[in-house]
Amino acid sequence: MRLKKKTRLLLSRRYIVALLSLFCMGTGQLFNGQIIKGFLFLLFNFAVMNSIAFIRGNIYGLITLGETAMEDHSLFLLIYGVLTVFLLLIITDIYIFNIRDAYKNGLLRDQGKEPPGFKESLKNIKDTGFSYLVLSPGLTAILCFTVLPLIYSILIAFTNYDLYHLPPANLIDWVGFKNFREIFSISSWRTTFIRVGSWTVIWAVFSTLTTYGLGCLLAVILNNPRLKFRKIIRTLLILPWAIPAFVSILIWSGALNTNFGIVNQLLGKMFNIQPVHWLTQTALTRLAVILVNLWVGYPHAMIMITGILQGIPADIYEAAIVDGVSPWQKFRYITLPLLWFSMAPLMIMSFAYNFNNFTLIYLLNSGRPFEFGQQGGAGGTDILISWIFKLTTEKNKYNYASAISLIIFFILAGFSIYNFYRSSSFQEEEMLQ
């Protein structure tokens, strides 16, 4: 009796159609009486079978990156291989959907119900999958212009793509983690990476703290209702933000010129100071980039903090005044904690942005002054991202540049995740109770 029950279960329609769809897409739907849907799946199955040679060739090219110079182009093989992998993922997803669809409709047949027709299936897709249809153009654009280039850049880090391996004249090979090992094992590259990386961290920290520190100070002062003309003052302080950042940076680059800059001329006339080498000495140039970033960035921080301050309920301060709290204590124990709760994620994002703030570093002084002994053309104010730019455009060290980019990603991802967790900024807490 039990054997008959098992046999009947195995011979039930849902398992039969699932097995049919497993061997050939669309046959399960045809067995369920869904002619149009089954025919469409069969056409897709036929297209996939005819593309097997194309898929196999692209996967083989991704593995080998070419076998004959001037005939095979390693970069194209890499791109085609990545696209083929994504195509295989899509085919696999459709294949699994085909089996599940056949099983689900076979189960309806076993229960004595009719599976939905083609029109009804389209209606169900429209009702249940409308949100996916609306999101699909944006997701497709992200996939094509963000995810695929990102994967391509990551894969370059594991190849020997450099000046001596430029296709099609020379083929590229997979080298594994060799680039990462060489960056940290070759003394000259290791020293350069440590110098540039340490300055990048210092730059990101100071540029973030200075902009938010000055922005917070100005926002708190301007938030005082007893201050006269505060709207006019706030408007004047926002003016640097109204000018495009790259224009301000280029203006400051000329103003800090040693011989002709307006800054040195004013210092000489007002304080009789000799010309300062703002852009030719490493220490002074680093100070200059931090100050220029402060000029460009403080209005944005001031506006955001002003919005946060205006969202703090006034009755909290009224209660503090009744209790005899001093202005400093109000700022220390009321304003600052509430500001920090909202500012922490903003500062983390600002740190990540400044960590890769290529525009300011490059436009102000192109990462100069020159530093003797540094590899890859790294200058005294180069941060990691501007050094990567020089590695690619000047030195053709694409493999090292990609490896360093991957290191930057892990540094920023680890820092951001840790600080988001530590700041508790996204936890549901009642701060105003």
Q: Where are the alpha helices (DSSP H) in 32-117?
A: 35-50, 52-64, 74-110
State which of 146, 176, 206 marks the end of a domain: 176
Q: With 90 as the cut, is the pLDDT of residue 401 above it?
A: yes
> 208 and 83, same structural domain?
no
Q: How many CB atoms lie within 10 A of CB 36?
A: 13
Task: Specify the higher pLDDT residue, 325 or 29.
Answer: 29
> 313 and 347, same structural domain?
yes
pLDDT score at 11 = 57
Average pLDDT over residues 379-407: 92
Average pLDDT over residues 244-257: 92
Average pLDDT over residues 46-55: 93
* DSSP helix, strand, coil percent of the chain (3-state; round to 5): 75, 0, 25
Structure confidence at residue 95 as a pLDDT band (50, 70, 90): very high
Closest C-alpha among 423, 273, 285, 418 to residue 364: 285
pLDDT score at 431 = 44
Structure tokens at 32: 């369920």
> 205 and 163, same structural domain?
no
Whether 428 is covered by a domain: the verdict is no
Whether 431 is covered by a domain: the verdict is no
Query: In terms of residue numbers, what domain contains 77?
Result: 2-176
> 186 and 161, same structural domain?
no
379: phi then psi, degrees, rounded to nearest 5:
-100, 180
> 187 and 165, same structural domain?
no
pLDDT score at 191 = 92
pLDDT score at 417 = 80
Q: With 50 as the cut, is the pLDDT of residue 354 above it?
A: yes
> 119 and 57, same structural domain?
yes
Listed range (9-23, 138-152, 245-259, 398-412) with the worst mean pLDDT: 9-23
Instruction: Count Cβ neighbours within 10 Å for each residue of 41-50 and write b for 16 or more, e otherwise.
Output: bbebbeebee
pLDDT score at 192 = 93
Q: Which of 223-237, 275-289, 320-334 has the highest mean pLDDT?
A: 275-289
pLDDT score at 323 = 77
Whether 430 is covered by a domain: the verdict is no
Structure confidence at residue 326 as a pLDDT band (50, 70, 90): confident
Structural domains of the chain, count = 2
pLDDT score at 430 = 43
- Give the chain's mean pLDDT: 87
pLDDT score at 55 = 94
Q: What is the pLDDT of residues 156-213, one digit of tens each?
A: 999 999 989 989 889 999 999 999 999 999 999 999 999 999 999 999 999 999 999 9
> 259 and 164, same structural domain?
no
> 188 and 146, same structural domain?
no
Q: With 60 as the cut, is the pLDDT of residue 4 above it?
A: no
Average pLDDT over residues 214-222: 91
With tokens 């190849």, the residue in question is: 159
Q: What is the pLDDT of residues 8-20, one digit of tens each?
A: 544 577 888 889 9
CATH number of the domain at 313, please.
1.10.3720.10
> 116 and 258, same structural domain?
no
Listed range (150-159, 215-224, 239-248, 332-341) with the worst mean pLDDT: 332-341
Q: With 50 as the cut, is the pLDDT of residue 428 above it?
A: no
Structure confidence at residue 41 as a pLDDT band (50, 70, 90): very high
Q: Which residues contact 29 (CB under 8 A, 6 or more apart)?
A: 17, 21, 37, 38, 41, 98, 101, 102, 105
Structure tokens at 45: 């199955």
State which of 115, 146, 176 marks the end of a domain: 176
pLDDT score at 424 = 53
> 165 and 196, same structural domain?
no
Closest C-alpha among 418, 425, 412 to residue 346: 425
3-state secondary structure of 228: coil
For the entire predicted model, the pTM comes to 0.82
Whether 433 is covered by a domain: the verdict is no
Q: How many CB atoms lie within 10 A of CB 229?
A: 9
3-state secondary structure of 373: coil
